[in-house]
Amino acid sequence: MSGTQHFQFSVHMAEIKPSAKTGLKVRRCGGGHYPKGNFMSDSDVKLRLSKRTKTEKPKLYKVVLLNDDYTPREFVVLILKGEFRLDSAQAEVVMLTAHQKGACVVSVYPKDVAETKATRAIDAAGRLGYPLQFNVEPE
C-alpha cells in the first residue's frame, strides 16, 4: 500500500519547531480557513503534516527443481519433503513434473531463504554423489 496522509490541526507557535529535523510544514493562519478574528491569534499557526507511507513488496524467488538422469526419484521426494516441507503427495507431483517436463517450481521464498534451501538441497545430493540441481529465479 502507498499513499499520502494529511493531518491538520492547530498548535500555538511556541509548541512547535518547524525545521528539517521535525519535517513539519508550517503555514501562518490567514488563508481563509478561519473566520476573521476567530479561533487563531496572529501567533498561531496551522500545521500540515505530510507523511508518505511507502511499503515495499518483498520480492519473492522461485526455487526450480531440474531433472537429471541419475538422481533416484525416491531421493528427490525425500529432499522435497525434508528441505522444502512438501507433503508426500506434493513432493511426488513436483518430482514427476520435473522428471517429465525437465523442471518444476518447488515453491517461492524471499531471496535468502530460496538460496539457502537450494544450496542445502544441492549439497545433500552431492554428498551422496547425485547431480541434483535447483535454480533460484526471480518470480
Q: Which is nearer to ligand TYC, 45 or 121 (CB)?
A: 121
Q: Which stretch binds ligand TYC (CB under 6 A): 10-18, 29-37, 63-71, 85-93?
A: 63-71
Helix residue ranges per DSSP H, the chain: 73-82, 88-101, 111-127
State the number of CA atoms in the 13 A half-sphere of 105 facing the CB: 9
Please pick, from the candidates 64, 71, 91, 117, the single residue that binds ligand TYC as defined by CB under 6 A.
Answer: 71
The dihedral through the CA atoms of 113, 114, 119, 122 has a sign that is: positive
Question: Closest approach of Cβ 77 to ligand TYC, in Å?
Answer: 9
> Residue 131: which residues within 8 A CB-CB, separation 6 or more?
68, 70, 71, 125
Q: Which is nearer to ligand TYC, 45 or 86 (CB)?
A: 86
Q: By the criterion CB under 6 A, which residues form the site for ligand TYC? A: 65-69, 71-73, 76, 95, 98-99, 132
